[in-house]
Copies of this chain bind each other. A is one copy, B any other.
Amino acid sequence: MSQKGTQSIQFDEAPYIISSASIVGTKEGEGPLGKLFDVVGADDLFGENTWEEAESTLQKEAAALAMGKAKLAKEDIRYLFAGDLLGQSIATTFGLMELNIPLFGLYGACSTAGESLSLAAMAVAAGFGEQVLAVTSSHFASAEKQFRFPLEYANQRPLSATWTVTGSGAFVVGKRKTKARITGITTGKVVDYGIKDSMNMGAAMAPAACDTIYRNLVDFGRSPQDYDKIITGDLGYVGQEILIRLLREKGFDISGQHMDCGIEIFDRETQDTHSGGSGCGCSAVTLSAYLLPKLEKGEYQRILFVPTGALLSTVSFHEGKSVPGIAHGVVIEHA
């Protein structure tokens, strides 16, 4: 039995992250992690005609790169676990269809990187596949069109707003031994604190991140110090403060371990992204390019990766609904 506590799993035969790849846009390439990504696009259309096609191309390229690094052909991949932020997940559909691999389409907003890695690890641990692929993406321009305003409006953004990362991360999860192992997961619940401001998603998602991290620590009987880093997806500066305060109220101080991909990926002083980066791609490319190499080298022994998602649409927002959050935790260990 590998169930742990009320909402976690510890894998008896923990699957490995065999390879990963990251591809990002120009702004991400100019940021603090710029030199670490596998590919930085020359422009943000990636040779396509629309922002949506550009995002599809990101997924296609990231998937191909990850399989190439693992020296695997698409026939070697049993399942795809993939998703994006766009309505009806069109970036995923059109990006991955040529792979011709059975697809489990996912939607977890910006938490999808965590959701896809969780299901990928579950499938491999259970023997349902030797190798599976987890892919997620976001694109600044397709997301602005989907959730806010077309870029041409040039509207002003409040300081609490985050900047959707243009990027895709792909991960081959399987049985072949490497230096990085997914040893457990903590699957998130929808958590709603009633926040209604879609320009302050850090605040909307922080309670969900708090809930998942809290459950992870309790389910595994760990303290924050048992992790070298506890890494949220895209809370940004505003959400980080709230998360640390909320967890303190529950008896855990993660201020020494906490890191946020949205904070790492852009430079606060020079890149004018306000509260930080966001999007499915934000946590995925940061894990692939920045966190995994440190873990593989042994600089980190164990991390808790917690992509965070804000569950809204323009329809729910315009109908006056709140912005609930969700966060999926993935425990990754040096092997």
Binding site for B on A (CB under 8 A): 1-3, 7, 9, 50, 52-53, 78-79, 83, 85-90, 93-94, 96-97, 100-109, 115, 118-119, 122-123, 125-129, 145-146, 187-192, 311-316, 319, 321, 324, 326
Contacts and interface: CB of A to CB of B under 8 A. Distances in A.
B88 A316 contact: yes
A126 B9 CA distance: 11
A73 to B, nearest CB: 13
Contacts of A119: 104, 119
Contacts of A103: 187-190, 326
Contacts of A324: 93-94, 97
A104 B190 CA distance: 10
Given A104-B119, A109-B88, A115-B105, A2 B127 contact: yes
A79 B118 CA distance: 13
16 contacts: A3-B127, A52-B315, A79-B187, A86-B87, A87-B313, A88-B109, A89-B107, A89-B311, A90-B312, A97-B324, A103-B326, A104-B106, A104-B115, A105-B106, A106-B106, A126-B127
A83 B107 contact: yes
A26 B188 CA distance: 35
Given A87-B87, A94-B316, A104-B118, 15 more contacts: A1-B127, A2-B127, A87-B146, A87-B313, A88-B313, A88-B316, A89-B311, A90-B313, A90-B316, A96-B190, A97-B191, A102-B188, A104-B119, A122-B126, A126-B127
Given A96-B190, A187-B103, A326-B103, A86 B313 contact: yes
A190 B243 CA distance: 39
Contact of A105 (B108, B125, B128, B146): B108
A127 B9 CA distance: 10
A220 to B, nearest CB: 15
A90 B312 CA distance: 7
Contact of A123 (B7, B53, B86, B122): B122
Nearest 10 CB-CB pairs, A to B? A87-B87, A126-B126, A102-B187, A97-B190, A88-B313, A93-B311, A107-B107, A105-B107, A90-B316, A87-B313
A1 B94 CA distance: 32
A147 to B, nearest CB: 9
A53 B322 CA distance: 13
B315 A93 contact: no
A52 B319 contact: yes
Nearest to A130: B3
A140 to B, nearest CB: 16
Contacts of A146: 87, 315
